[in-house]
Structures are given as C-alpha cells and as structure tokens.
Amino acid sequence: MGTALARIQDVLVGERYDAARRKIWETFRALLHRPLGAVGLAIIVLFLFIAIFAPFIAGPVPQYSPPVNLGPRNSGPFPGFPLGTDQTGRSNFALLMYGARISLIVGLAASAVATVAGTLVGILAGYYGGFTDKSLSWFTNFFLVIPWLPFVLVVATLIREIPNEVLQIPPEERGFIGTIISISLVSWPTTARVVRAKVLSVKTLGYVQRARAIGAGDRHIMVRHIAPVLLPLIFANVILTVSSAIWTESFLAFFGLSDPSQPSWGSMIESSWRAGDFLIGRYWAFLPPGICITALVLAFTMLSRELEELLNPKLKQR
C-alpha cells in the first residue's frame, strides 16, 4: 500500500513540474505577442549576441602589455575606431562591446545567488511558521530597511580590503566577486518576501495536506509539492532582479569598486569623467555606455512588468 501511494505521489509531482514548465513556456510565448515584452526580449537578445561575439565584432580586448587594439590617445572617431579612444589609447568601441559581458555576467550571477538565497529563506519561513517565520522575517526586514546604496559601497570596499590570508581570492578578482556578493545581499530579501507569501497559501492546499497525512516529510513536501508551484514566480523574480543588478554593477564600477582589469560600462563612464570628457563635449566617450546601461536595464524592466501582468491577472484590470 505504501509503495503504491509513493508511486502515485511521484506521478503527481512529475505532473506538477511539467505543468510549471508548460506555464513558463506559455508565458514566454505570450511575451512575444505583447509589444513591451517583444521589444525587451529583442534588446536582451541583441546584447547577448554582442557579449558572445565581441571578439569577432570588435577584435581582441584592448590592453597595454602587450599592446593590443590601441590607437592614439584621446582621439575622436576615425576609421577602425568608430567611437575614438580613451586617455590610454584603448578603443572605446571595443570596450563597449566587451562591457556587455561584464554587465550580463554580474547581473545574471547576482540574480541567481539572490534568488536561491531568497527562495530558501521564503520557503522555510512560510512553511514552518511560528518562531522560524518570525526569526527569518525579522532577518529579512533588517536587510530591507538598510539603505542599499551605502550598503553595497561598504560591502564591496570591505571585500577588497580583507587580507589575503583570510580571504583566499586573488586581489584582481575581488572587485568582480565583491560586486556579485554586495548586489546579492541587497536583492535576496525581496525574493524571500514574495516566496514566503506564496508558500503561506500553497501549504494549505489539499494535495499538500494529503501528502502530510500519508507521512511525507517536510523536505519531501517542500521540494516535491511546493517548489513546482513557485517556479513561474521565481522565473519572473529573476528577470526583475537582473535589471537592478546591472544598474548597481555600473554604479560600483563608476566608483572604482569593480574589477579594473575587466572592461565595463561603468568603468568607461568613470574613466571619461576623470578625463573631463563631460566638460569638453567628447560625447562619443561617455554617451554610448550610458545608452547601453539604460537600454539593457529598461529591457529587463519591461520584460518583468509584462511577466507580472501575465502571472498576476489582477494587474490586467488596473
């Protein structure tokens, strides 16, 4: 009898995961028929293409030693350098193309870390309730009320200053890893709150109660019965988190807290600012990275807005 019930449960769980995957796929298809969603997807695909094929579009990464892809310093646009060069002779066009990689990698990595952490906290708080819920909710609210801009600046700075004996990370990689960690710390609480609210409603459903009645453990219920229902919600939240992560990465790069060895849009604007390009009107140095940051953040924002309306029918009536 127990074996038969277990088999039935496995079949039902498989059906729920299949239903969640179908819903995500149907939502993705529906996005293509909505103007904002289609435009947002097109912009994201364009930047993904640029990030992947940057070596073929702009040549090798500009560097000093050995000198590669360099030209005269502080030059305006000319053949081979359509956006001119910076104060060190690097091609602004090549830096712009390779900057797409850093923005997307940091945005997706920080969003993934924040989503995993927020989902775990939200599921535990919503499922167990009581003292666990109060403790985790207090912990979540603590991070929610912290001013996030000063917080990410402090965290990124501290990671760079930790001695090598304590943090076994090469100094040249700390800016990159510190950016991901600092963005994740300010992004996971929103996911936790959304997931907790969903779990509170799901755990009272009949099939969850039946699984508990036949002796299913808490871990089994959370992984096999509650998690499938959360997949579409988590998918939408990942998209929303990426946009804020990309903007925050550019913000940190502007303050010199990212990896200086990796070209990024924020570091391009910071370099242009130090060179005084804003004052003398060298728009080709600072305007393109600003447009790219705005376009990519706006694309993910449009996509997340359309996802919210598709997954929450009540928003369509407003």
Q: What is the pLDDT of residue 317?
A: 47
Three-state DSSP at 63 gives: strand
Count Cβ atoms below 10 Å from residue 139 Cβ, excluding itself. 14
Specify whether the CB–CB gap between 203 and 133 falls below 8 A. no
pLDDT, tens digit, 9 for 90 and up, residues 48-95: 999 999 888 888 887 766 667 777 887 878 888 888 888 888 888 989
Q: What is the pLDDT of residue 14?
A: 52
pLDDT, tens digit, 9 for 90 and up, residues 2-31: 444 444 445 445 555 566 667 667 767 777
**CA-to-CA separations, 72 to 61, 84, 317, in angstroms, rounded:** 16, 9, 58
Q: What is the pLDDT of residue 4?
A: 45
Count Cβ atoms below 10 Å from residue 261 Cβ, excluding itself. 11
Domain ranges of the chain: 2-60+83-317
**CA-to-CA separations, 278 to 73, 257, 271, 287, in angstroms, rounded:** 17, 21, 11, 9
Task: Name the architecture of domain 2-60+83-317.
Answer: Orthogonal Bundle (1.10)
Dmax over CA atoms of the chain, in Å, equals: 81
Q: What stretches in the chain show pLDDT beneath 70?
A: 1-21, 23-24, 27, 64-67, 163-173, 260, 311-318
